[in-house]
Amino acid sequence: MIVLIFTGGTISMRHDPASGGAVPSLRGRDILALAPGIDALAALEIDDWGAFPGPHMSVARMWALRGRIADHLARADVDGVVVTHGTDSLEESAYLAARSIASDKPVVFTGAMRTSTDLGWDGPANLGASVRVAASQDARGAGVMVVMSDRIYSALDVTKTHTHSLDAFDSPGLGPLGVVDDGEVIFRRSLPERSPVLTPDEPATPVDIVSAYAGADSRLLDASRKSGCGVVIAAMGRGNLPPDMVPGVERWIADEKPVVITSRALRGRVGCTYGYPGGGRKLAELGAIFAGSRRPQQARIDLMLALGAGLHAPAIRALLDGM
């Protein structure tokens, strides 16, 4: 049995003349009716959880969805779960699930880049491929995955790399875990040993992402610090900041609130390479925490989970340094 959790997104949308654009319109059975043959791939159960566009997925909604996935996985009659999701925030919900659910049963997130009223609607193909992966014995133990355009990605490293193309998702520098080819599920690379999951009662919020750019100063860091419980900085390159952002970092650390350094670059790790004012080594000496190869949106989720679980800076540093 594969449970299909429908949450909305472009895969559920049609063009609405009144609004002048695409809006969620289709329920789970409507989508399956427009995708004949999927019900022959496995026994299916429909869970119409929501009808949200990707940008409407709040932290509370992502956490509730994570709980629904975990509940289905705990059932003895369920072999895997497929989640349809808006692509704008799909990678965040999938990463949250990957970092907070421990199960050998496959969980597959998917969506669409075109609506059901577009000529090139990719929803049925993506949904069908996802059901094939979730039903595959080879997918057991692979954790949470994202399947788009017949490519299988790990939720731990996938991101949306194009605004509108059908092949909008990729794992920069790594590539897909595998493919769905002529109905066959083929895995081509393995994953490193999975880190322990974090299962707080709820994620801590708010945790903001503040981006670095040429000439940036501390204004946004200071504004975030007033109510934030932690902050993620999308730094330049290897993990470096303009000098005028450094006082803002110092004030966060003086308040004993974690500052996590990531990079706005798509590939590579942050590190202590540079020793000039604002360089990574100087930030580490101040007490900033480096997030390895995580992208900013991933580090934010890990920080929310860690703070929600009651972890403090040394434990958060050990957690983020492990990936």
Domain boundaries, the chain: 2-187, 207-320
First to last CA, the chain: 33
2-187 with 207-320: one CATH topology? yes
136 by Cβ neighbours in 10 Å (0-12 / 13-18 / 19+) ranks as buried
**Which tokens is 317 given?**
């540093």
Superfamily (CATH) of domain 2-187:
L-asparaginase, N-terminal domain (3.40.50.1170)
Q: What are the tens digits of pLDDT across the range 107-152?
A: 999 999 999 999 899 999 999 999 999 999 999 999 999 999 999 9
Q: pLDDT below 50 — which residues of the chain?
A: none
Catalytic pick among 7, 10, 84, 87: 10
* Beta-bridge partners for 233: 210, 261
* Beta-bridge partners for 230: 207
Q: How many CB atoms lie within 10 A of CB 256?
A: 9
**Tell me, what's the pLDDT at 194?**
77
Q: Which fold has domain 207-320?
A: Rossmann fold (3.40.50)
- Assess contact for 107 and 97: CB atoms under 8 A: yes
Length of the chain: 323
- Assess contact for 171 and 42: CB atoms under 8 A: no
Closest among 112, 186, 115, 110 to 144, alpha carbons compared? 110
Residues 253 and 249: their CA atoms lie apart, in Å, by: 6
**Tell me, what's the pLDDT at 322?**
59
**Which tokens is 115 given?**
């609506």
pTM attached to this predicted model = 0.96
Place of tokens 């975990």: 70
Q: How many CB atoms lie within 10 A of CB 247?
A: 13
10 has catalytic annotation: yes
